[in-house]
């Protein structure tokens, strides 16, 4: 079953040609172009929103990155010349790392801060097949790509990497797999694209966005052998970035004719739901909202630490300031802890796309613990605090 994208909180600073790494619940975006200016901006993504992180020491666009939110690696890019700059992030600030052996822009990467992989790109107007391996201190030569490419994407690890798409003079569908020493052919993308993004592993990858003859919303999922269609991006973009996994991905930024702050979250649909009973009422900043939920249909799952979470949408009736909307446009999205009795983060939308951030309590009503143990487990959401109103 393929996944679906849902709109998340936008980047604080709209950017294209940026890089990213980490997970959906702990993502990182850095660098890029803010309408003609190199950017050093770093932002950190939590379960719901982006916040400021430590700025890159060297502002760049068309760079690559890998690692986690608290142990990231940025490398290459454009600073009015091809860059060999490498920087390491510790969750607070960036510091200098070992320079790339070959300065490049429009490259891709994967792995970790202490076991990174860089590949492809552009070296003085020529498509590159260069691959380099990082050991936490310095880069060394790896096996060259079979197909020299720029504007490609990648994911995986240093010893199990994946490269896909790009430009070789024409738009490319090429996929290659790295085993720690050399690249071999993988299954071609169904839709050739360049300036795309990706995330995941060598055997469970996600590719999204890019450019064909126009900006693309295409998403594809890879199973280690072949690509198949996934749910399309809500906003077609190229020069975007991403992070996460095949079943829990994050896309952000890009070019839609102008620089974009759009963030979208990818979920795989689940074949289970919970019945929510009762009516919850609250007010926030003089806005009153009464939500009667008769069903939550889950649309995704993710993990943070030792806890698992589900996300879903209300398919019922909401009344906002006296206006009743029984369509799917008025909805509740929850990041609900599977364990009954937990405080959870929620996001409530009205039919105009305005939303509130807040908390709710999950209560099991049929004795199931966790509440999602059975396909039709019954539970109630009791809203405890909704302090923040924003315009979506």
Q: What's the confidence (pLDDT) of residue 382?
A: 53
How confident is the model at residue 365, as a pLDDT? 54
Q: How far apart are CA 107 and CA 128, in angstroms?
A: 9
Give CATH 2.120.10.80 domain extents, the chain. 3-268
Residue 348 token pair: 């409530």
Which band of pLDDT confidence, cut at 50, 70 and 90, is reported for residue 344? Answer: low
Categorize the per-residue pLDDT at 167 as very low, low, confident or very high, splitting at 50, 70 and 90.
Answer: very high
Burial 361-390 (b: 16+ CB within 10 A, else e): ebbbbeebebbbeeeebbbbbebeebeebe
Give the per-residue pLDDT at 33: 98
Return the CATH number of 3-268, one of 3.30.70.260, 3.40.50.300, 2.120.10.80, 3.90.79.10: 2.120.10.80
Q: Is the pLDDT at 283 greater than 60, yes or no?
A: no
Number of Cβ atoms within 10 Å of the Cβ of 128: 24
Supply φ then ψ for residue 272, to 5 degrees. -150, 155
For 275, the token pair is: 């019945």
Chain mean pLDDT for the chain: 79
Q: Which residues pair with 95 in a beta bridge?
A: 88
Q: How far apart are CA 40 and CA 57, in angstroms?
A: 7
pLDDT for position 341: 54
Q: Taking residues 41-51, what's their average pLDDT? A: 90
Q: What is the mean pLDDT of residues 276-296?
A: 35
Distance CA 60, CA 380 (A): 48
Inform me whether the pLDDT recorded for 100 exceeds 50: yes
pLDDT confidence tier of residue 125, bands split at 50, 70 and 90: confident
Query: In this predicted structure, what is the pLDDT of residue 237?
Result: 98
> 197-211, 214-228, 265-279, 340-354: which has the minimum mean pLDDT?
265-279
Residue 73's closest CA among 92, 43, 95? 95
3-state secondary structure the chain: CCEEEEECCCCCCCCECCEEEECCCCEEEECCECCCCECCCEEEECCCCEEECCCCCCCCECCEEEEECCEEEEECCECCCECCCEEEECCCCEEECCCCCCCCECCEEEECCCCEEEECCEECCEECCCEEEECCCCEEECCCCCCCCECCEEEECCCCEEEECCECCCECCCEEEECCCCEEECCCCCCCCECCEEEEECCEEEEECCECCCECCCEEEECCCCEEECCCCCCCCECCEEEECCCEEEEECCECCCECCCEEEEEECCCCEEEECCEEEEEECCEEEEEECCCEEEEEEEEECCEEEEEEEECCEEEECCEEECCCCCEEEEEEECCCCCEEEEEEECCCCEEEEEEEEEEECCCCCCCCCCCCCEEEEEEEEEEEEEEC
pLDDT of 88 reads 98
The backbone torsions φ and ψ at residue 231, rounded to the nearest 5 degrees and listed phi first, read: -70, 135
Identify the sign of the CA torsion 135, 246, 274, 280.
positive
pTM of full prediction above 0.85: no
The answer to whether the beta carbons of residues 111 and 119 sit under 8 Å apart is no
Mean pLDDT, to the nearest integer, of 77-90? 97
Segment 226-272, tens digit of pLDDT: 999 999 999 999 999 999 999 889 999 999 999 999 999 887 643 22
Report which of 191, 190, 106 is spatially closest to residue 154, judged by C-alpha positions.
106
Whether residue 160 is predicted with pLDDT greater than 90 in this model: the reply is: yes
Note the pLDDT of residue 116: 98
């Amino acid at each position: 079953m393929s996944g679906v994208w849902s709109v998340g909180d936008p980047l604080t600073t709209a950017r294209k040609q940026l890089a990213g790494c980490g997970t959906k619940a702990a993502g990182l975006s850095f660098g890029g172009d803010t309408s003609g200016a190199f950017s050093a901006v770093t932002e950190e993504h939590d379960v719901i929103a982006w916040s400021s992180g430590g700025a890159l020491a060297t502002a760049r666009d068309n760079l690559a990155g890998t690692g986690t939110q608290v142990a990231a690696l940025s490398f290459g890019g454009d600073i009015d010349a091809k860059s060999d700059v490498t920087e390491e992030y510790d969750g607070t600030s960036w510091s200098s790392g070992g320079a790339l052996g070959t300065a490049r822009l429009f490259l891709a990467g994967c792995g970790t801060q202490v076991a990174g992989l860089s590949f492809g790109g552009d070296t003085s107007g020529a498509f590159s097949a260069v691959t380099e391996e990082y050991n936490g201190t310095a880069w060394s030569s790896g096996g060259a790509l079979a197909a020299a490419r720029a504007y490609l994407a990648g994911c995986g690890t240093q010893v199990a990497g994946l490269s896909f798409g790009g430009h070789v003079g024409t738009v490319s569908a090429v996929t290659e797999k790295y085993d720690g020493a050399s690249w071999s052919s993988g299954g071609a993308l169904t839709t050739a694209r360049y300036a795309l993004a990706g995330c995941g592993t060598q055997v469970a990858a996600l590719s999204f966005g890019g450019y064909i003859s126009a900006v693309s919303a295409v998403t594809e999922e890879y199973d280690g052998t072949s690509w198949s269609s996934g749910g399309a991006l809500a906003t077609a973009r190229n020069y975007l970035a991403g992070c996460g996994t095949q079943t829990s991905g994050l896309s952000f930024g890009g070019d839609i004719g102008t620089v974009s702050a759009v963030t979208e979250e990818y979920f795989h649909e689940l074949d289970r739901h919970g019945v929510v009973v009762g009516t919850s009422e609250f007010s926030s900043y003089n806005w009153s909202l009464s939500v009667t939920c008769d069903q939550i249909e889950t649309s995704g799952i993710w993990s943070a630490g030792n806890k698992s979470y589900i996300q879903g949408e209300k398919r019922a009736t909401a009344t906002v300031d006296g206006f009743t909307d029984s369509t799917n446009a008025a909805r509740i999205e929850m990041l609900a802890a599977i364990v009954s009795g937990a405080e959870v983060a929620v996001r409530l939308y009205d039919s105009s796309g305005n939303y509130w951030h807040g908390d709710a309590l999950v209560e099991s009503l049929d004795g199931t613990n966790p509440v999602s143990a059975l396909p039709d487990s019954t539970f109630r959401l009791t809203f405890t605090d909704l302090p923040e109103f924003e315009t979506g």
